[in-house]
Structure 1
Amino acid sequence: MMDRLTLSRIDDNLGTSEVAALCFLCLDVINRKRLEGITDARVLFERLEEKCLLENPSFLSQLLRTIRRADLVSLLETDSSPPEETDSNPILSDYRVMLYQIYQDVTEENLEMMKFLLSDKLGRRHIDTCRTALDLFAEMEKVGLLSSTKLDHLYTTLLEFDRQLASTVHDYMQGVNRPGHTASLPRVSMDYQRVNSSPQQNQTTLSISETQPRNVGQSVVPDAEPNIESSSSPDPTEYYTLTRNPRGVCMVINNEQFRGPEFKDRAGTQEDEKALCNVFTQLGFDMEVHNNLTAEDMRREIKTLGKRNFSSHDVLVVCVLSHGDIGCVFGTDENKVCLKEFTQPFTSVRAPSLAGKPKLFFIQACQGRGYQFGAQPYALSQEEDGERYLEDDAGPVHGQTVPAEADFLLGMATVPECRSFRNTVLGSIYIQELCRQLLRSADSAANDDILSILTRVNREVSKGEYKSFKQMPEPKYTLTKKLVLKRV
């Protein structure tokens, strides 16, 4: 039996939320009813003693390490050998640890999203009592929606608003080797914009709720982390050199409020701005943000940027968030700027300090009025409330441009003549997925280059169905080497 003085010292150092987490982690070894209402670690230790789980400190050590209290583990004075599973000393459940990892990464906003998405399955009364993700998981287990062998509901729920959290579940499912597993299909809805839609595309305009989730459906489990390339060292001549800190400049032009009668304001675009600033700051870029620029203001900012000396930078990134049409985007005055006007100031002739360096342009805007249809559209039900969250960034129709000079990449949210979609609460489908994949690659051991990242963006965005329509991003590039972006 463990020393009670040690247990008392551990209890004194544990907060209420930590005790709740420990109780959740113990649900596979102690009856749920015996754990309900416990707020004091001393009571939990009594329950563990009843099950002979404190005959040695190994199991408690596992619990404390899981909740990242290594300082308390040291009080147990365990040896360094890994614990062996016996009837009285079980190994902590990988399933519980996986759920706890998700709980640690769930933000307050994510928690509200989860509660909304699960309210029809768990009931409002039970949802209202859930203060943490662990509470939600426990309620899901009670009604049979969640177990170590039943993770579909959790996976599809997380996939609605955070693919990184969903990937944690996916990785666990891969680890337990469950062949033939397929996630159930979540409900989907579509994005919309434009004040004066054509009659055949006219949709009812609904009010926007700030508490609704992203309604981006997914029907396929995303691929696992890519394999690390062969152990042979990469050829440095195949990669752009990234040695400077900061790596370069990332300019974001974010047009939300439009002055004329033709375009609606672009609700949700501020979330794209936040995501881009977060990602490229972590990748080592100096951020510059310009909000609500007219067409002439956009031209002026781009020309001013093109006149700088980039000798101390390795990369240039420009992100434009606005309404658009084929080959152009619109200023807040509803006048257009051709895409080539964004790239021309940075050619090797006009900006020699950028010669041989990658220049990335990401454009979140429609490229026409058309809609894309899937070859085999899913027969999914559509919630009326879902229609209010997705809009498009379209404008009136005309020629496209592709940067012909070397070392350019133009990442378009959609193919020509088609619309792109934006969630009015959580941001555009394309930019949000781009940011997720950039961070995934930045943290991966694999040497993924930007084209591999954009291929994954294409795949993930194209899986979605937005109110029965599809979206297909399109990268265009004249890169001459591989570009790998990692955290600085």
Structure 2
Amino acid sequence: MDPLTLMRIDEELDSSELAALCFLCGDVLNRKYLETINDGKELFIRLEEKGLLDNSRFLSQLLETISRSDLLRLLEADSRRRERSGEPQTDASPLLSDYRVMLYRIYEDLTKENLEKMKFLLNSKLGKRQLEQCTTALDVFAEMERARLLSSSKLDELQRILVECDCHLKLMVQKYMRDSSVSQYQHIHPIRNPDLLPRSTSHVINRQRDSNSTESLLLNLAISETQLPSEPSLEPREGQSLYSDADVSPPLQNWDYYSLVHNPRGTCLVINNEQFTGEGLRDRAGTQEDEKALRDVFGRLGFKVDVRNDLTADAIRNALDELGKRNFIEADALVVCVLSHGEKECVFGTDGQKVALRELTRPFTSERAATLAGKPKLFFIQACQGSGYQRGSMPCPPKPLGGEAAGRPSLEEDAGPVQSELVPSDADFLIGMATVGDCKSFRNTSTGSIYIQALCKQLLKSAFRNDDILTTLTFVNGEVSRGEYMNFKQMPEPKYTLTKKLVLTLV
């Protein structure tokens, strides 16, 4: 980014705005660094070192949050200049943390009187000396984080205080908890009426009522209506419970579905590449949140999860070859998740070397892994697949069918050409891609990637409803495609040669 533009922005920032920017960067910059920053230039240097100013999008989010539209216009002019000069643009700008934006909105709306009330209520937990040094709500939030009373997944104390200060501000926290892609893993209410759950879920609960894990199971299963991100397809109608008889799938037919009879179901291998030594590849902040979500969800679905961190290209191949040589007689399925940088038809090892997508699946074909023959093999790839961005378009209204269209509908490629070599010719494979070919995928540096977080959320929802995996991935497509990420879109793409329906349920 142009240093002159950054200098002009620095000159326009007052001390309170600089403090706000530093607070908003709390998830992408080290707290010790932030405490030493005295002006905007120092902040921009730190962000540049992290690769967060390779384009203007992250800084735009910061300035938009603090309502400095005049400075946004400076950035837009700088972006247009860079485009005209042909300077390369990068993809994976991090998304500003929704958690920090929520706290900033509370700070904006908190009156001086309520700030003093907040400090009084925290006096026994933070100490008088620390609170005396807090002149704004952002200072109080920073102290609460330092004392581990507040985080993106720990909001109980903040809610307790806001109830006494301003109930409107408490609603901001509740909205964040509903909308957050990770809220369902952290904020779960107990079941008030087990009869409102699907029959299959109630059966699991009744069967395990006397086990030591019953209480934990109940808590984990009972996701309340207010905690689920709003989706038209899941909203209850008037006078109808969230889980009604209409939501229950019909009885499963054995001949129609893959058999899931073992516990554990099989292995879930997660290859999580965060730190890269390859030239031009930055570290992938936020990927640990994806790893945690995958470990949690597939653990609940009955898989033994094996996580491998920071593998080179050769190490990835070796790990997959080693896994393919195992005996899968006592397994029902296999899951492989790869979290890394990528290009079209490949992912990168930490050394910057490429591993073709076909190489990921080859060790598990029927010829090489005979004990996996006829069993589902699921691959989920979180990586960019090119350097392009996806933009949104307004859909055209449907036209009445007539003439040639009614008798002989034409065929079109959907969301770009599908490369047949990416899907093995052998049966029973599924590859879930974070994005279509030639395009980039997005990752939040504090809460994880858009695709993996949506996938984990939908897998849990589908476990309650007996949805098959293709229905689940359709919901993932819908959720991700509805979002807007730095003014761009993202479209996941599943590819499969499954021969039966696969329904993953909780064990």
Shorter-chain TM band: 0.5 to 0.7
Superimposed CA distance per residue, residues 201-246 of structure 1 (whole angstroms, 9 cap, x where no aligned partner): xxxxxxxxxxxxxxxxx99666336765667532111111000011
**Within the alignment, does 1:164 sit opposite 2:184 as a pair?**
yes
Question: For the structure 1 residues 294 and 123, does the alpha-carbon distance in structure 2 shift closer, same or farther, using more than 3 Å as the test?
Answer: farther
SS of the residue aligned with 1:457?
helix
- Structure 2 residue aligned with 1:314: 332
- Structure 2 residue corresponding to 1:145, chosen from 168, 172, 175: 168
* 2:439 aligned partner: 418
- Tell me the alpha carbon deviations over residues 221-274 of structure 1, each in whole angstroms, 9 at most, x when there is no partner: 663367656675321111110000110000011111111221101111111111
Structure 1 counterpart SS, 2:380:
strand
Q: How many residues align?
A: 309
Aligned to 2:300: 282
Q: CA deviation at 1:436?
A: 1.3
- Cα RMSD for the two superposed structures: 3.5
Report the secondary structure of 2:363's partner residue.
helix
* 1:388-427 mapped onto 2 (5 Å cutoff): 401-427=422-448
| Residue of 215, 227, 234 corresponding to 1:223 | 234
The counterpart of 2:283, out of the listed 234, 240, 265, is: 265
What's the counterpart of residue 243 of structure 1? Answer: 261
Q: Is the Cα–Cα contact under 8 Å of residues 122 and 140 in structure 1 kept in the other structure?
A: no
Q: Which letter maps to 1:273?
A: E
* SS of equivalent to 1:333: coil
Q: What is the one-letter code of the residue matched to 1:119? A: Y
CA–CA distance in structure 2, aligned partners of residues 329 and 472 of structure 1 = 18
The superposition leaves residues 424-478 of structure 1 with CA deviations (integer Å, 9 ceiling, x where unpaired) of 1111111111111112223x1x211111111111111112111111111111111
The superposition leaves residues 83-139 of structure 1 with CA deviations (integer Å, 9 ceiling, x where unpaired) of: xxxxxxxxxxxxxxxxxxxxxxxxxx9998864553323358266557763763774
- Distance in 2 (CA, whole Å) between partners of 1:222 and 1:273 is 28
Q: 1:133 aligns with which of 133, 140, 156?
A: 156
Match of 2:484 in 1: 465
Where in structure 2 are there 5+ consecutive unaligned residues?
A: 1-96, 123-148, 150-154, 193-228, 236-241, 396-418
2:497 aligned partner: 478
* C-alpha distance in structure 2 between counterparts of 1:243 and 1:342, whole Å: 26
* Residue 359 of structure 2 is aligned to residue 341 of structure 1: yes
- Shift of the 410–139 alpha-carbon distance from structure 1 to 2, 3 Å rule, reads same
Query: In structure 2, which of residues 108, 120, 123 is the aligned counterpart of residue 120 of structure 1?
Result: 108
The alpha-carbon distance between structure 1 residues 290 and 166, as it changes in their structure 2 partners (threshold 3 A), is closer
Q: 1:288 to 1:111 in 2, by over 3 A?
A: same
Query: Is the contact made by 1:356 and 1:407 (CA closer than 8 Å) also made in structure 2?
Result: yes
Q: For residues 116 and 293 of structure 1, do their structure 2 counterparts lie closer, same or farther at Cα, with a shift above 3 Å needed?
A: same
Query: Is this contact kept in 2: 1:421–1:429, CA < 8 A?
Result: yes
CA distance in 2, matches of 1:475, 1:143: 45
Instruction: Name the SS for the 1:145 alignment partner.
Output: helix
User: 1:332/1:123 Cα in 2 relative to 1: closer, same or farther (>3 Å)?
Assistant: farther
TM-score by length of 2: 0.54
Q: In the alignment, what sits opposite 1:369?
A: 387
Amino acid at match of 2:175: Y
Between the aligned partners of 1:467 and 1:302, the Cα distance in structure 2 is 35
Residue type of the alignment partner of 1:449: D
Q: Is the 8 A contact 1:158 1:166 kept in 2?
A: no
1:221–1:112 distance in 2 versus 1, CA, 3 Å: farther
> Residue 254 of structure 1 aligns to which amino acid in structure 2?
N
Higher alpha-carbon deviation: 109-118 or 421-430? 109-118
Distance in 2 (CA, whole Å) between partners of 1:309 and 1:166 is 36
Partner Cα separation in structure 1 for residue 443 and residue 180 of structure 2 = 14
Return the structure number with greater helix share.
Answer: 2
User: Which TM-score applies when normalising by structure 1?
Assistant: 0.56
- 4+ residue runs over 6 A deviation: 109-113, 165-169
